[in-house]
């Protein structure tokens, strides 16, 4: 048992001891399918606080020869799986946390003021791991001067022992933008470990994790044997990193937390058809019995701000659309997974998908802000910027618009929509129905605090343009119909004629029918509001 080589299971035991634990042990069954196959190379990239490290601790506890974990897994799902015995504590594990090595400086290094970005950490962790291998395998004749790859080769040649290589934060040197010499040294290490055909029989599993997928310009050719599981596409592993909707529902029932409110705050990531939640947000909410932004507190909003303020064509308009609840098309294939090669807004948005600040719909090839927790962070990020001054003014004035609508003040509503339209649209004509809806939703931004807002809502004999369903008691529901170059009364008549109100059959409170017309000649909105009680 060592620090790096064949670690014990204490870290995973602490996970099991936690007040709130969700059983993700069936990940082991999925990984067991690929151990000792050509597909034994796995790279899992996830946003921070999505459970990457816990999964690694569990895999170490399962595979490591440095402990006996049978009792540890006895009450978990994997214990009943047919593959449980196959590799239980039967592989030599090398576990490396690259960020821990990168961040840990000796007193001498601190005193000398050495720059982190110029500090080659490969010799540091290589020496420490090889020394442990010397102690663990005395008959392999390791001198201590070998590279890690050569040391493992010697062990395999002498003993036939196989290894599981588990690396956490493999991408930290990319994210920290280290000097080229440091990065090239690390790249050479990865190449020697995973591209070496002579070493392949000795490696039964390679499991690496990070925030970013594998860098495509320099690293991918070195690590092209890895299957990648990302925030965009995680196929068979989608349910194992992050909480699923069923898991969150069960936790909410167990601890008497409002599941619907959890969804409004923290839902929105849909990975391969699986609703995925940040474990940090759910656990913090359950422990504190209070809904607020938890996941975003683990990082600085400047990390978001620095990228959405990049001067790429169309990025400002797309950010406004997404803050309003809309979705924008994004080409996720151009981004090289680095921290420096941003050539267009698609690269920026793809990067933010990997960081968790955006969610991605693979079928529609669209990105969007997933939930209230993250939307609050976007507002915080754009608030200081003069480029978003108009947007913030709209957000700040949206409460008054909501109040005017509920009061039935149609003139005040029309005036507010005129202002919103003028401020948001580059020209005074809506270029599409989607733009019209987006401006309306942005003007009603405050409604997100009380309503579930749905565009194109199937209702009665047609589809309502915008429906706002309240989740706060004593708050009226809104059905908004939009027209161009027609009449606001026509919009209202359509709501009534097509029985849009029937779509809210389970809602028993007040309904507000709101008809809105935009006249392209006069460049003005007109509005009519009618109250109806079910």
Q: Give the model confidence (pLDDT) of 142-185 as tens digits.
A: 998 999 999 999 999 999 999 999 999 999 998 888 888 998 89
* CATH number 3.40.50.300 given to 10-235: yes
pLDDT at 336: 86
So what's the pLDDT on residue 457? 84
Q: Where along the chain do its domains lie?
A: 10-235, 243-297, 301-384, 400-533
Report the sign of the C-alpha dihedral through residues 381, 386, 391, 396, in that order: positive
Q: How far apart are the first and last CA of the chain?
A: 69
Specify the pLDDT at position 218. Answer: 60
d(C-alpha 248, C-alpha 22), whole Å: 9
Question: What pLDDT was estimated at residue 317?
Answer: 84
**pLDDT computed for residue 456 by the predictor:** 85
Give dist(CA 242, CA 277) in Å, integer.
Answer: 6
405-434 tens-digit pLDDT: 999 999 999 999 998 888 777 655 677 777
Q: What is the DSSP string of 248-301?
A: HHHHHHHHT--HHHHHHHH--EEETTEEEE-HHHHHHHHHHT--S--GGGGS-T
Phi, psi of 359 (to 5 degrees): -105, 165
383-402 pLDDT tens trace = 888 888 888 888 899 999 99
What is the predicted pLDDT for the residue at 58?
97
Rounded Cα distance, 134 and 80, in Å: 37
Backbone angles phi, psi at 289, to 5 degrees: 55, 40
Q: Interior CA angle at 269 toward 357 and 172, to 5°?
A: 50
C-alpha 116, offset from chain centre? 28
What is the distance, to the nearest Å, from the Cα of residue 168 to the centroid of all Cα atoms in its chain?
A: 17
- Tell me how far apart the alpha carbons of residues 122 and 188 are, in angstroms, rounded to a whole number: 9
Which residues are CB-contacts of 200 (< 8 A; sequence separation ≥ 6)?
none
How far apart, in whole angstroms, are the C-alpha atoms of residue 45 and residue 50? 10
DSSP alpha helix (H) spans, 302-443: 302-308, 315-323, 345-355, 372-382, 389-407, 410-424, 433-443
Low-confidence ranges of the chain (pLDDT < 50): none
Q: Span 400-533: which CATH code? A: 3.40.1350
pLDDT confidence of residue 110: 58
- Residue 468 in tokens: 């706002």
pLDDT the model gives residue 97 = 96
């Amino acid at each position: 048992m060592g620090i790096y080589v064949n670690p014990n299971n204490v870290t995973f035991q602490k996970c099991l001891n936690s007040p709130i634990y969700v059983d993700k042990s069936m990940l082991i069954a999925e990984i067991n399918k690929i151990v000792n196959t050509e597909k034994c190379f796995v790279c899992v990239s996830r946003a921070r606080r999505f459970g990457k490290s816990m999964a690694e601790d569990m895999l170490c506890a399962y595979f490591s020869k440095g402990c006996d974990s049978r009792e540890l897994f006895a009450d978990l799902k994997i214990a009943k799986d047919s593959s449980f015995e196959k590799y239980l504590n039967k592989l030599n594990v090398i576990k490396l946390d690259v960020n821990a090595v990168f961040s840990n400086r000796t007193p001498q290094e601190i005193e000398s003021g050495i720059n982190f970005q110029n500090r080659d950490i490969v010799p540091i962790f290589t020496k420490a791991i090889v020394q442990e291998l010397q102690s663990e395998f005395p008959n392999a004749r390791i001198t201590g001067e070998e590279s890690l790859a050569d040391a493992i080769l010697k062990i395999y040649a002498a003993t036939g022992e196989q290894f599981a290589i588990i690396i956490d934060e493999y991408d930290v040197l990319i994210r920290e933008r280290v000097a080229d010499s440091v990065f090239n040294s690390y790249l050479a290490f990865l190449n020697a470990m995973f591209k070496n055909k002579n070493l392949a029989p000795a490696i039964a599993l390679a499991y690496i994790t990070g925030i970013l997928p594998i860098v495509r310009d320099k690293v991918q050719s070195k690590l092209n044997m890895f299957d990648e599981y990302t925030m965009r596409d995680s196929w068979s592993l989608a349910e194992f990193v992050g909480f699923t909707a069923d898991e969150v529902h069960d936790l909410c029932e167990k601890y008497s937390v409002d599941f619907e409110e959890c969804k409004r705050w923290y839902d929105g990531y849909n990975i391969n058809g699986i609703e995925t939640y940040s474990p940090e947000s759910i656990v913090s909410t359950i422990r504190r019995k209070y809904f607020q932004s938890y996941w975003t507190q683990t990082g600085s909003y400047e990390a978001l701000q620095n990228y959405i303020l990049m001067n790429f064509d169309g990025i400002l308009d797309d950010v406004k659309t997404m803050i309003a609840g809309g979705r924008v098309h994004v080409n996720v294939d151009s981004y090289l997974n680095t921290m420096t090669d941003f050539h267009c807004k698609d690269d920026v948005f793809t990067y933010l998908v990997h960081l968790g600040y955006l969610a991605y719909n693979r079928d529609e090839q669209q990105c969007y802000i997933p939930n209230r927790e993250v939307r609050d962070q976007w507002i915080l990020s754009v608030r200081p910027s003069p480029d978003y001054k108009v947007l913030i003014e709209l957000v700040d004035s949206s409460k008054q618009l909501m109040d005017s609508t509920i009061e039935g003040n149609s003139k005040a509503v029309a005036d507010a929509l005129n202002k919103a339209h003028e401020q948001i649209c580059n020209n005074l004509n809506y270029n599409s129905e989607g733009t019209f809806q987006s401006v309306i939703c942005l003007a009603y931004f405050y409604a997100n605090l009380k309503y579930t807002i749905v565009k194109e809502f199937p209702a009665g004999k047609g589809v309502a343009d915008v429906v706002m369903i309240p989740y706060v008691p004593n708050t009226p529901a809104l059905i908004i119909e939009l027209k161009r170059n027609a009449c606001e009364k026509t919009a209202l008549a359509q709501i009534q004629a097509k029985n849009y109100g029937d779509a809210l059959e389970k809602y028993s409170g007040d309904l507000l029918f709101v008809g809105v017309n935009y006249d392209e000649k006069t460049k003005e909105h007109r509005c009519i509001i009618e109250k109806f009680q079910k």
